[in-house]
Structure 1
Amino acid sequence: MERSDNVETILIVEDDAKLAGLLSAYLSKYEYHTVIVKDFSAVLDSFQESSAELVLLDVNLPKYDGFYWCRQIRSLSLCPILFISARDSGMDQVMALENGGDDYITKPFHYEVVLAKIRSHLRRAYGSYAQNQEERKLQSGNLTLYPERLVIQYHGETAELTQKEVLLLEALLQKEGRVVSRERLLDLMWEDQHFIDDNTLNVYITRVRKKLKDLGLEEAVETIRGAGYRLSLSGINE
């Protein structure tokens, strides 16, 4: 499919040529431009050449696995990365998220589910936020979250975030000092909780805590046992 203006590009990194072709054909019907990786030793080159807005990434790949390529892509871009894999263990899903992935779809899958997830991630990454003329920001003292930039800033130091990390921090900042339940966070971060392993939210909490700690904000996210999580900045956000 030839690319035209205002058409999002999706990079398909899948070594099952038949499945890659079927995914490409299905997405092309909905006016997405697709690029199928052929050389699995040069996935990063394909990503850069395609200028993809979203990546569909298998875990089991020749030479290097999908986790490796996810880290490589994430070092250059914050675009949505959706894993597609026959490996359905909770640990594989945790590994995908820890290596920078935004979602995990297990095979066999319904193409409608893949399409819905792609639309959701593209909308969150490039849709209504990007169309706002005035940039949104959430601020508490010297801590500022820029959702459209996928960035959080504290005393001039900056940390980059994934889409899911932004959703998590935004929910906690909006209720600063108050408890946000796990159920509420799951609702905000994933449209269908049934596909989410119970440990997945814990992974994102750990990642956000580390990024805040790197900025000099230790113990900012508290676990309230049996209730949820609370962002407490009083006394440290000076």
Structure 2
Amino acid sequence: MTIIEDDRALAEQISQLLSRYGYDCTEAKDFSIIDRQIEVEQPDLILLDINLPKYDGFYWCRSLRERTKVPILIMSARNSTADQIRGMDSGADDYITKPFDPDVLLAKVNAIIRRNYGELKPENADHGEEKCGVIFWENRQTVACRGKQTELSFTENSLFRVLFAAFPDAVSRGELFMQVWDDDSFVEENTLNVNIRRLREKFVAAGLPIAIRVVRSFGYKLIIGGDNT
């Protein structure tokens, strides 16, 4: 994984922590060519600070998300709700505020790796599953309908998988947290809200007839062929 943190001491501490648990880590050195480093290294996870020289982490998160589907975990001293939402809107999969407990960081990293690459990632063939004209290729992270399609990030893909599997029934918020994030202990409430909004926006932008409706006091349900509201 790649650690993008301009506090050299903190970057080294994170690297040492994760290395002890078997993760191969590299640290960004030149913060003006982060995109090129990611392209070369092809990491399984990006740990991204916000307060970086030249361009901030929000910029790099948006830029990297246009190039790769790799999970992005933002690490930042900015702890306001607005900053967390902005980070998720920029394409991050999760957000942790500084100073953080090393055990919490490790738990988040383990959960991201486990659900995207490990035992929580379903082992399915590379074929699309179809429901009401909507085809979902989980391994390709792609949703299509009527000749139109959109690609999803890892977290969006996991979230859609749970909603799609339950269709036409609703899924509780608690179940979404457990299925998508493996736990709800270290996950901000805004993380789910923002990812639901990102899915809605992608479906609208791609012209897909897919909506995600709020089920009051319960959770969400997928609607196929309806307005995305």
Q: TM-score, length-normalised on structure 2? A: 0.88
Equivalent residues of 2:115, 2:180 under 8 A apart = no
* Compared CA separation, residues 89 and 138, structure 1 to 2 (3 A): farther
Q: SS of the counterpart of 1:145?
A: strand
Equivalent residues of 2:150, 2:202 under 8 A apart = yes
Q: C-alpha deviations, 1:210-231, integer Å up to 9, x for none? A: 2222333356222222332221
2:5 corresponding residue in structure 1: 14
Between stretches 58-67 and 128-137, larger displacement belongs to 128-137
Superposed displacement of residue 61, structure 1: 0.7
Gaps of 5+ in 1: 1-9
Superposed displacement of residue 128, structure 1: 4.4
Gaps of 5+ in 2: none
**Structure-1 separation of matches of 2:172 and 2:121:** 28
Between stretches 19-28 and 208-217, larger displacement belongs to 208-217
2:213 corresponding residue in structure 1: 222
**Structure-2 separation of matches of 1:52 and 1:40:** 16
2:98 corresponding residue in structure 1: 107
The amino acid of 2:165's aligned partner reads Q
1:57 corresponding residue in structure 2: 48
The amino acid of 1:163's aligned partner reads F
Superposed displacement of residue 129, structure 1: 7.5
The amino acid of 1:25's aligned partner reads Q
The amino acid of 1:97's aligned partner reads M
Q: SS of the counterpart of 1:105?
A: strand
Q: SS of the counterpart of 1:12?
A: strand
The percent of aligned pairs where both chains have the same amino acid is: 39
1:4 corresponding residue in structure 2: none
Superposed displacement of residue 176, structure 1: 1.3
Q: C-alpha deviations, 1:135-156, integer Å up to 9, x for none? A: 3643213211222222111123
Equivalent residues of 2:149, 2:208 under 8 A apart = no
Residue 17 of structure 2 is aligned to residue 46 of structure 1: no
Between stretches 184-193 and 44-53, larger displacement belongs to 184-193
Equivalent residues of 2:93, 2:155 under 8 A apart = yes
Match of 1:187 among 162, 178, 181: 178
Q: SS of the counterpart of 2:17?
A: helix
Superposed displacement of residue 45, structure 1: 1.6
* Compared CA separation, residues 95 and 235, structure 1 to 2 (3 A): closer
Superposed displacement of residue 37, structure 1: 0.8
**Structure-1 separation of matches of 2:104 and 2:130:** 35
**Structure-1 separation of matches of 2:177 and 2:135:** 23
* Compared CA separation, residues 31 and 87, structure 1 to 2 (3 A): same
Q: TM-score, length-normalised on structure 1? A: 0.85
Equivalent residues of 1:130, 1:148 under 8 A apart = no
1:169 corresponding residue in structure 2: 160
Query: When the two structures are aligned, how many residues end up with a matched partner?
Result: 227
The amino acid of 1:93's aligned partner reads Q
Superposed displacement of residue 235, structure 1: 7.2
Between stretches 155-164 and 123-132, larger displacement belongs to 123-132
The amino acid of 2:27's aligned partner reads I
